[in-house]
Amino acid sequence: MPDYRVRVTKDYTVFCSGHFITYAGGKCEALHGHNYRAAASLEGALNADHYVFDFVTLKKILRNVCDRLDHRMLLPLRNPLIDVLEADGEVEVRFKTRRYVFPREDCVLLPIANTTAELLAEWIAGEVRATLFEKGPIPALTALEVEVEETVGQTAFCRIMLEDRASEE
Ligand SMILES: [Zn+2]
């Protein structure tokens, strides 16, 4: 049996967001932004109409997830070096002596350890999977891969197995 895969990426599966990551065991980048571009691939068996998954639906799902990140400051909630505190409609972020305060609505607080392209790809994959399976499992789909291009020629990939992940929950 051949393997099949469909992949979508469009001009609108992008998000222009601010972030900074910690690196090298304790350093922290200055605040900056990227015009991120996302792509999503689904692997699986062909259905009765001979396709893996509807391109239009997959584009829409990916776009909705990207839109939630677009024009926002992306902040990690699980980084031991970065404190993120919500209060009074604001988000206060501390790294050592550095301190930022953002309006709450300008931020997306992500349950990840660092806003690397790899972990953003993993988070997006989780959100895409949740939407895919909102109306129940789709047994023909075996894997989902999300790509996050941080800048031209610099892309991280995260591939999750859909069968395994579905049975975990
Ligand atoms: Zn960056």
**pLDDT score at 1:** 79
How many angstroms separate the alpha carbon of residue 98 from the centre of ligand 1? 18
pTM over 0.75: yes
Give the Å distance between the CA of 33 and the centre of ligand 1.
Answer: 6
- 124: domain CATH number? 3.30.479.10
User: Of 92, 118, 127, 150, which one is the catalytic site residue?
Assistant: 150
Report yes or no on 53 lying in a domain.
yes
Condensed to tens digits (0 to 9), the pLDDT of residues 84-98 reads 999 999 999 999 999
Asked if residues 108 and 120 have their Cβ atoms less than 8 Å apart, the reply is no
Q: How confident is the model at residue 24 (pLDDT cuts 50, 70, 90)?
A: very high
Report if residue 90 sits inside a domain.
no
Residue 154, domain member (yes or no): yes
Distance between CA atoms of 102 and 82, rounded to whole angstroms? 14
- pLDDT of residue 15 exceeding 50, the answer is yes
Cα–ligand 1 centroid distance for 150 (angstroms): 7
Does the residue 57 lie in any domain?
A: yes
User: Contact at 8 Å (CB) between 135 and 64?
Assistant: no
User: In whole angstroms, what is the distance from residue 167 CA to residue 144 CA?
Assistant: 15
Between 169 and 117, where is the model more confident? 117
Number of domains in the chain: 1
pLDDT tens digits, one per residue of 41-73? 999 999 999 999 999 999 999 999 999 999 999
150 catalytic? Reply is yes
Q: What confidence score (pLDDT) does residue 166 get? A: 45
In a domain, 8, yes or no: yes
Q: Which residues pair with 43 in a beta bridge?
A: 5, 143
Residue 147: which domain range?
4-73+115-168
107 domain-assigned: no
Q: Taking 60 as the threshold, does the pLDDT of residue 158 lie above it?
A: yes
In a domain, 140, yes or no: yes
How confident is the model over 114-140, as a mean pLDDT? 96
Instruction: Please report the pLDDT score of residue 168 as a whole number.
Output: 53
Mean of the per-residue pLDDT values of the chain: 95
- Residue type at 164? D
Averaged pLDDT for residues 3-31: 97
DSSP category for residue 112: S
**If you measure from the C-alpha of residue 167 to the centroid of ligand 1, how many angstroms do you get, rounded to a whole number?**
34
